[in-house]
């Protein structure tokens, strides 16, 4: 373990690097590194504070960077040493990008990437816990996919946990992604309708852009083709509290001299991180896979929802958190990953992620925020899971969107902390 320290903006920060096995089934094989940034208030003594480990949403995204002492981190470090874990493949951990992955042959790449799901992220955390505090327990906070990790942690390593907090991330325990995406497409349709009711001009902007793309060969500043389908993926923003406004203000400046403007094209690129964080594209559906193949579920299920087809002239609907095989052709940096992505989509022997028998006898205090109108994590599946986890405290609210922890972190943590105090 390598550590460096510094103080910034009222925070004392220690940076750790840990060496862990790529595969825990082969502990003597290849190793990778895991980076974690530890934060506590400069007014506190670290030894006096317990750990709170943060599991980021995604999958495939690094932990937030503490640019200022604000938001949920500011609230959390009043009571904890916060450990921001860069999950394997992200941030300053051994990173999985097109630059590192393209060096591997497709079969090897698929075998490597299959080790980057929640189960191994949790194994990494357990190894780090033992390195930092030995047999002592720690607390964890999981946002979105981080809640999937937290539920896996509860299923297989509850003895390492003092308490668990989950925000917008109670996963379906056994649901097939086909059924998950059937619900998701319906929720995304409703978010589109809400978006156009709040910003009435946005529909005309969207339709005009889509028609332009259907009739012109357009490329983004990095050379990628901009198709209507890629434009539709801006709908990923619709489930965030600030996402609809962000999308509206991007659309309103889309044209300059009857052509799509450079600022629009660059702005679209900045809102899409599928190429910089390829784990999200390649392993997102695998978050749900347990002894079955996903076979590009969102792509197949889309055929059941013709309202999302680009030929529709009366309406234009953005898609949401759906990943499609055509992305491996249209995103230049994803092309070298195409065969590996398809191999993983066809994989049938994914390990089980949750143990309902353990969850029904759970003794670890758990508090979870469930967002009624969450576009990304289905409310009904979350409540079904909550009914299985013994002793869980649920706070359901329609006051916040999926990013409640980011948009009003102090309030959300105050409420969750109070549930277990």
Tokens of 101: 């992955």
Question: What pLDDT sits at residue 421?
Answer: 86
Angle at 262 between CA 329 and CA 223, to 5 degrees: 25
Task: Say whether 29 sits in a helix, a strand or coil.
Answer: coil
Q: What is the CATH number of the domain that holds 6?
A: 3.40.50.1820
Q: Are residues 279 and 372 in the same domain?
A: no
Active site positions, annotated: 144, 349, 402
* Domain carrying residue 17: 2-174+354-420
Do 72 and 97 share a domain, yes or no?
A: yes
Residue pair 59/287 in contact (Cβ under 8 Å)? The answer is: yes
Residue showing tokens 């499609």: 324
Whether residue 329 is found in the same domain as residue 368: no
Q: Last residue of some domain: 294, 328, 346? A: 346
Strand order in the sheet with 11-21: 2-8, 11-21, 31-41, 81-86, 51-55, 138-143, 161-167, 366-371, 393-397
pLDDT at 45: 74
- Biggest CA pair distance of the chain: 66
- pTM summary value: 0.97
User: Both 237 and 363 in a single domain?
Assistant: no
Residue 117 shares a structural domain with residue 222? no
Rounded Cα gap, residues 104 and 391, in angstroms: 45
Indicate if 306 and 317 belong to the same structural domain: yes
Distance (Å, whole) CA 232 – CA 53: 35
Closest CA to 168 of 409, 333, 392, 377: 377
Token pair, residue 94, equals 């051994």
Residue by residue, what is the 3-state secondary structure of 207-252?
HHHHHHHHHCCCECCCCCECCHHHHHHHHHHHHCCCHHHHHHHHHC
Q: Which residues of 395-421 are buried (b: 16+ CB within 10 A; e: fewer)?
A: eeeeebbbbbbbbbbeebbeebbebee
Please give the Cα distance from 413 to 347 (Å, whole number). 38
What's the Cα-to-Cα distance from 355 to each of 137, 146, 290, 361, rounded to whole Å?
20, 17, 11, 10
Pairwise CA distance, residues 73 & 58, whole Å: 19
247, 390: one domain: no
Question: How does 248-265 read in b/e, with b if 16+ C-beta sit within 10 Å?
Answer: bebbeebeeeeebeeebb
| Residue 3 and residue 14 in contact, taking contact as beta carbons nearer than 8 Å | yes
Last residue of a domain, one of 346, 364, 380: 346
Distances (CA, A) of 107 to 114, 337, 338, 340, 344: 11, 10, 11, 6, 10
How would you classify the pairing of strands 255-256 and 81-86?
unpaired
Q: Please name which of 128, 169, 110, 138 lies closest in space to residue 293, comparing C-alpha atoms.
A: 110
Residues 189 and 121 in one domain: no
* C-beta of residue 112 within 8 angstroms of C-beta of residue 341: no
The rounded Cα 127 to chain-centroid distance in angstroms is 22
From first to last of the 421 residues of the chain, give the pLDDT tens digit. Answer: 667 789 999 999 999 999 999 999 999 999 999 999 999 998 777 778 999 999 999 999 999 999 999 999 999 999 999 999 999 999 999 999 999 998 999 999 999 999 999 999 999 999 999 999 999 999 999 999 999 999 999 999 999 999 999 999 999 999 999 999 999 999 999 999 999 999 999 999 999 999 999 999 999 999 999 999 999 999 999 999 999 999 999 999 999 999 999 999 999 999 999 999 999 999 999 999 999 999 999 999 999 999 999 876 778 999 999 999 999 999 999 999 999 999 999 999 999 999 999 999 999 999 999 999 999 999 999 999 999 999 999 999 999 999 999 999 999 999 999 999 8
**Look-up of token digits 């862990």:** 20
Q: Are residues 209 and 92 in the same domain?
A: no
- Among 311, 346, 381, the domain-final residue is 346
Q: In total, how many domains does the chain have?
A: 2
144 and 221 both lie in a single domain: no
Judgement on whether residues 281 and 358 belong to the same structural domain of the protein: no
In a shared domain, residues 48 and 187: no
User: What are the angstrom distances between the C-alpha of 396 and each of 148, 356, 376, 383, 400?
Assistant: 18, 22, 15, 9, 10
Q: Is 92 helix (H, G, I), strand (E, B) or coil?
A: coil
């Amino acid at each position: 373990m390598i550590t460096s320290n510094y103080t910034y903006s009222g925070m004392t920060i220690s940076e750790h690097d840990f060496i862990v096995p790529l595969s825990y089934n082969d502990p003597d094989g290849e190793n990778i590194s895991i980076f974690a940034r530890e934060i506590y208030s400069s007014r506190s003594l670290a030894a006096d504070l317990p750990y709170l480990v943060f599991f980021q949403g995604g999958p495939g995204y690094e932990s937030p960077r503490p640019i200022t002492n604000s938001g949920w981190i500011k609230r959390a470090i009043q009571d904890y040493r916060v450990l921001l874990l860069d999950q394997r493949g992200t941030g300053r951990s051994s990173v999985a990008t097109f630059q590192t992955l393209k060096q591997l042959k497709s079969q090897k790449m698929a075998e490597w990437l299959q080790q980057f799901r929640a189960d191994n992220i949790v194994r990494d955390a357990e190894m780090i816990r033992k390195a930092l505090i030995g047999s002592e327990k720690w607390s964890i906070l999981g946002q979105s996919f981080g809640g999937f990790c937290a539920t896996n942690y509860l299923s297989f390593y509850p003895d390492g946990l003092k308490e668990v907090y989950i925000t917008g991330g109670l996963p379906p325990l056994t649901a097939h992604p086909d059924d998950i995406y059937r619900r998701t497409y319906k929720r995304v349709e409703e978010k589109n309708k809400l978006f156009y009711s709040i910003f009435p001009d946005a529909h005309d902007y969207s339709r005009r852009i889509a028609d332009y793309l259907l009739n012109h060969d357009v490329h983004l500043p990095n050379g990628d083709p901009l198709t209507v389908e890629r434009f539709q993926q801006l709908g990923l923003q619709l489930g965030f509290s600030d996402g609809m406004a962000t999308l509206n203000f991007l659309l309103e400046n889309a044209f300059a001299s009857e052509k799509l403007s450079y600022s629009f094209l660059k702005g679209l690129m900045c809102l899409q991180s599928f190429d910089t964080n390829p784990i999200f594209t390649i392993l997102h559906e695998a978050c749900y896979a347990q002894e079955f193949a996903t076979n590009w579920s969102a792509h197949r299920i889309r055929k059941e929802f013709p309202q999302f087809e680009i030929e529709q002239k009366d309406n234009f609907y953005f898609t949401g958190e759906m990943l499609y095989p055509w992305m491996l052709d249209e995103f230049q940096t994803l092309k070298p990953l195409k065969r590996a992505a398809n191999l993983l989509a066809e994989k049938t022997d994914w390990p089980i992620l949750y143990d309902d028998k353990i969850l029904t006898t759970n003794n670890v205090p758990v508090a979870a925020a469930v967002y009624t109108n969450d576009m990304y994590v289905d409310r009904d599946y979350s409540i079904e899971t909550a009914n299985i986890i013994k002793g869980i405290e649920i706070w359901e609210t329609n006051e916040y969107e999926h990013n409640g922890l980011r948009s009003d972190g102090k309030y959300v943590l105050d409420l969750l902390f109070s549930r277990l105090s």
